[in-house]
Amino acid sequence: MIFKSLYQSKFIYRQFHTSSPRHIHPLIWVFLKPALKGVAWITGRSTRKWYQQLPPEKRSVFAEHLNRHKYKYIGIFGTIGTACAIHYYTHLEASPITGRRRFMMMNAEHLTLMSDMEKEKIAKMFSDQMFPEHSKQTQLVARVARRIIGANMDLDNIRNIKWTARVVDVDIKNAFVLPTGDIYVTRGLLETLINEDQLAIILAHELSHALLGHSAERLSYLQLIDMFGMSIFGAYIIWSIFPRDWISFVVNYIFENFITFTSRLPYSRLLEEEADEVGLMLAAKACFDVREAVALWRVVHEAEMNAALPEFISTHPASAKRAETLNEKLPWALDIRRQCHCSPLPENKPPVSKLNISNNPNEKVMGILAKPIVSVHNIPVINVNKKEKQ
């Protein structure tokens, strides 16, 4: 979500596995994760209580047993570690477009199932707050999205998704794209943006998340961290070695936050930065003014200066850092525009007013669309036949 290299689209990255990967069903993990954490706590605490109740002579016998069979236990833990390493390696694949190697436990079917569930949830929650397909708001989002999609039809993922667009009539400033191709933008965000180029930057960023499979990757990474870190081994060790329950609780709380700040949040920021870069490429190929990406994040930074969280405790990079990073990539993005034979951008862009968006959901578009929208179940379907350029 928002408000929260070389040009590589010509290359094809193929996955290589020594054996067929086994994907865990995401719904299973919903129930398995808390169960594993509970088992780790209970068994760790039980181990501690058992050892504390042993008389001194029994503790000596136990220590002697461990010393006598230490190589056996080393072999057992080594085997488990090797199995985990094999599991990790056989689930590595190349990310589309960028080719970055990543761990992936979820497959397309699982992701589609979860996306459909999320779509149903959104439909129920905002059933009376969706702008109709003929509204200016929905048509605007569909037109900008169509232009981005049409300019990037050389990407396999973008051709294989049925894209739709919806605008939710709420004040919240947000936009997101489900992996199934469902694009959601809020009225609050549209009323905040200055021009279509800024809308294109946001949509391209969110489309990048869907094209790169970031939802599945993030869930896979979190499962990896939970399974081999906090949920089992870490929690068991903590609850077994500390002498009091309250100490174990405090240490476990600190450990969980340590994992969050050092693993989960940095990885989330990595995905956001990747989506920023790929989104800049998508917008550049569609001949939008990519300079607006820098302007957009500078405005966001100024707006959140008094309330922004430090980057290290945020899932997103700091807005000022995003603006700086995107500014460094502008020459690369502008070169992509030139390669796509886009019209030159004016050096001094005149000031513009905000997007002409009415609050009336029944107000129809007049001359804003380049081609009509086809309706399927009252959802504007983004049909792209050729690239639209400005």
The 10s digit of each residue's pLDDT in 262-278 is 888 999 999 999 999 99
Stretch 147-176: mean pLDDT:
91
Q: Is 226 exposed, middle or buried (0-12, 13-18, 19+ CB in 10 A)?
A: buried
The 10s digit of each residue's pLDDT in 334-343 is 999 999 999 9
Pairing of strands 101-103, 92-94: antiparallel
Catalytic status, residue 206: yes
Task: Kindly indicate the confidence band of residue 183, based on its pLDDT and cuts at 50, 70 and 90.
Answer: very high
Q: What was the pLDDT predicted at 303?
A: 64
Stretch 358-371: mean pLDDT:
36
Q: Is 374 exposed, middle or buried (0-12, 13-18, 19+ CB in 10 A)?
A: exposed
Residue 84 has pLDDT above 90, yes or no: no
> How large is the angle between the packed helices 265-285 and 291-303, nearest 10 degrees?
140
Contact 33, 206 (CB under 8 A): no
Stretch 338-354: mean pLDDT:
75
SS3 state at 268: helix
| Single-letter amino acid, residue 294 | V
In 3D space, the residue among 203, 139, 64, 149 whose CA is nearest the CA of residue 356 turns out to be 139
Point out the catalytic residue in the list 133, 196, 206, 292.
206
Least confident of 161-170, 184-193, 204-213, 368-377: 368-377
Question: Which is more confident, 38 or 229?
Answer: 38
Residue 373 has pLDDT above 80, yes or no: no
Task: Kindly indicate the confidence band of residue 26, based on its pLDDT and cuts at 50, 70 and 90.
Answer: low
Give me the residue spans of the domains in the chain.
129-213+269-381
pLDDT averaged over every residue in the chain:
78
d(CA 371, CA 368): 9
The 10s digit of each residue's pLDDT in 1-17 is 443 332 233 322 233 33
d(CA 172, CA 211): 25
Burial 148-163 (b: 16+ CB within 10 A, else e): bbbbbeebebbeebeb
Residue 369 has pLDDT above 80, yes or no: no
List beta partners, residue 364. Answer: 135
d(CA 52, CA 248): 15
DSSP 311: G
The structure tokens listed for 64 are 């002697």
Residue 292 has pLDDT above 90, yes or no: yes
Contact 346, 338 (CB under 8 A): no
Contact 203, 141 (CB under 8 A): yes
Task: Kindly indicate the confidence band of residue 331, based on its pLDDT and cuts at 50, 70 and 90.
Answer: very high
Stretch 66-74: mean pLDDT:
92
Biggest CA-to-CA distance, the chain: 89
Residue 105 has pLDDT above 90, yes or no: no
Pairing of strands 164-168, 182-186: parallel
Contact 225, 115 (CB under 8 A): no
Q: What was the pLDDT predicted at 223?
A: 82
Task: Kindly indicate the confidence band of residue 374, based on its pLDDT and cuts at 50, 70 and 90.
Answer: very low
Contact 132, 123 (CB under 8 A): no
